[in-house]
Amino acid sequence: MNFKEELNEKVARIEAIIKQYLPEETGYQKTVLEAMNYSIMAGGKRLRPMLMEECYKLFGGKEAVIEPFMAALEMIHNYSLIHDDLPAMDNDEYRRGQKTTWNVYGEGMAILAGDGLLNLAYETAAKAFLLIEDKQDYQRVARALAILGRKAGVYGMIGGQTADVEAELQDRQMTEELLYFIHEFKTAALIQAAMTIGAVLAGADEEAISKMEKAAYNIGVAFQVQDDILDVTSTTEVLGKAVGSDEKNHKLTCVSFKGLDASKAEVDRLSREALQLLSSFETKNVFLTELVESLITREK
């Protein structure tokens, strides 16, 4: 099987896992449940759960305990996209080639759908406790839950989004430090959650976990810089969302700060460093390496 076929197979498997944890659309709250399912099943690369599972496998993980965490992280990612698309934030009407959640269900329902997915994420991740028996595994699951909360919260994604929103509203002078703070916290934090949770649940040692956190930082920042690049070089058809939205929203990005060529070089440098870190582990995961390589040249 080549990389592309393997990737498609893994996406289908991840979607089947996520579906197991999604709500039934019944009851007086049916509309919000529909909006939650609409958002999470509207496509997407499933990059975060994929990285999580591949890191888990790299350190010898073989159990189902990883699955609720994979679903939970994708729920958190999708809640952040629903809220980010709202008129009060980026005011985007299309994502993944489909109408955004607020554009279909209205703003109030989209806020609630995001909140619903965020809560469901922790309810889902907590189900990992029901899949284990050893005391050692309980400690790993507890640590993984704490990582999820921290990296998704004010010391992670929400913190990065806060700095981003303020930089935009106040036309704050962008410095390299602020740019990297935003990229690290807004984007790399969830990638770090994915990769370190995989390592923690598989029982990797402390040195390997912190090396994985560093590799994930590089992958996450490179991913965001590539996102900045695609916003100016791609098309709405390929991306499935409006291009040029960073300029429209007065966002200072790596491209506006350093220029296109320097941004491309940055994606390459950060990714190569991440690949070096991954190759320094005793065990190998060829698919994980190929996945990181594919992100350097990703077109959407």
Which residues sit at the interface with ligand GRG, rule CB under 6 A? Answer: 44-45, 47, 80-81, 83-84, 96, 157-158, 161, 186-187, 224, 227
C-alpha to C-alpha distance for 47 and 222, rounded to whole angstroms: 14
Nearer CB in complex with ligand GRG: 157/199: 157
CA proximity to 178, closest of 162, 192, 189, 190: 162
Query: How far is C-alpha 224 from the geometric centre of its chain's CA atoms?
Result: 10
Residue 103 or 137: the one with the smaller Cβ distance to ligand GRG is 103
Joined tokens for residue 285: 């995961």
At 93, which amino acid appears? Answer: E
| Nearest distance in Å: CB 281, ligand GRG | 24
**CA-based nearest residue to 250, from 143, 90, 128, 85:** 90
**Shortest distance, position 22 Cβ to ligand GRG, whole Å:** 16
Encoded amino acid at 191, one letter: I
* Shortest distance, position 248 Cβ to ligand GRG, whole Å: 13
Q: Which is nearer to ligand GRG, 83 or 264 (CB)?
A: 83
Do the Cβ atoms of 182 and 160 come closer than 8 Å? yes
The two three-digit tokens of residue 204, written as one number: 């990797």
Query: How far is the CA of 21 from the CAs of 18, 30, 118, 262, in angstroms?
Result: 6, 16, 13, 42
C-beta of 147: minimal distance to ligand GRG in Å?
Answer: 17
Count of positions (residues) in the chain: 300
* Cβ neighbours, 10 Å, residue 177: 8
Of the two residues 66 and 189, which places its CB atom closer to ligand GRG in the complex?
A: 189
* DSSP structure class, residue 131: G
Residue closer to ligand GRG (CB basis): 158 or 174: 158
The residue (of 59 and 102) whose beta carbon lies closer to ligand GRG is: 102
Phi-psi region of 153 (alpha: psi -120 to 50; beta: other; left: phi over 0): beta
User: CB-wise, 52 or 141, nearer to ligand GRG?
Assistant: 52
Nearest distance from residue 251's CB to ligand GRG, in Å? 9
Q: How far is the CB of 127 from ligand GRG (least distance, A)?
A: 22
CB of 257 to ligand GRG, least distance (A): 16
> CB count, 10 Å around CB of 25?
15
